[in-house]
Amino acid sequence: MDPEYAVVVAPLLAAPSPKVPPTADQIKTHFFENVTTPMQTFHASRLPPASTYTVKNETVIVDGGEIPVRCIIPRVEDDEGHTFPVFVHIHGGCGCAGSIETDDYALRRISVDLQISVVNVGYRLAPEFPFPTGVNDCYAALKSEADQTVENAQMLKVDLSKGFLVGGHSAGGNFSAVLSHQARDDPFFAGRQITGQLLREPITIHPDSYPDSLKDELRSIEENAANPPLTSPVIRHLLHTYGGIPSDPRMSPLLYSSHEGLPPAYVQVMGLDPLRDEGIVYEKALKAAGVKTKIDLYPGVGHGFHYNFPSIALAEMVRNDVIKGLKWLLGRDIE
């Protein structure tokens, strides 16, 4: 266990296990207090100057309603006619917690530092809107950004030929993997394909659907079962709340019949995460299918620790590697 991480996680390890599973409202409240709030507090002092970017809150029409999206567009001195690549970001929370506020401040930093337009998607949450509502909402948002009408392109200052990325953390990584498959197979995206996927500690297969051929490689769900911030019992409860069908590739993208032709993927994996092996096995599957991949493994820390404890040194390394990973996906030289 990483020494800094061991200190901050000690109270979680010492806390008694809850006697009854949390309600949906308790899940959302816990996520806000222990994930969103630490991220907002930490990144508030790291925001780039307000003059260097523009924030626009928009909505996307989805089946049965609409969802919020927050667009972050860099500003440059010679702004007339300047265009950027785009990064469609999907927050974590296992499909039943989180919002566009979770990563908002960090994404503003990414937008300015990488000179990339960011579309931060706020999908509807389970159990009110169970699987596959969330992933369908995100696909609608992805199609909306790919549909580069004159008005949309001018608002976001986007040129998809410079880069069209999708990515997120945990459930956001799951959704991004699913969207990459769906977009690959959808004629709508012909000539405007996704060019890269950022998969941070992704959920890639439901634990009830592990193939016999891979069970020896998918051991972390048991080996790391008791490691906070996200233990295996909590993962199972969240997946139950989300309502994902274990054998459906939209829940378990590892189960898609083919991974060929997918965009390059940058994957992050935590060594003490119950989901560790899912990221490792998925990256291997992509590579075996001829997909260009890059993976970073961080020993001694648990799932999403950099959200709960953003101030420790290894969290800074994870954030810096996200920047490097996005640069790699954009085909830019890394210093």
Provide the annotated active-site residues: 170, 273, 303
Sheet of 53-62: strand order equals 53-62, 65-74, 117-121, 86-90, 164-169, 196-200, 265-270, 293-298
62 closest CA partner among 148, 139, 155: 139
Interatomic CA distance for residues 123 and 60, integer angstroms: 10
- What's the token pair of residue 207? 């634990």
How many other C-beta atoms are found inside a 10 Å radius of the C-beta of residue 186?
A: 15
Q: Are 107 and 118 in contact (CB under 8 A)?
A: yes
For 150-199, give the DSSP string: HHHHHHHTB-GGG-EEEEEETHHHHHHHHHHHHHHH-GGGTTS---EEEE
Residue 132: cis peptide before it, omega within 30 degrees of 0: yes
Instruction: List Cα–Cα distances, 203 to 237, 276, 306, in angstroms.
Output: 14, 9, 17
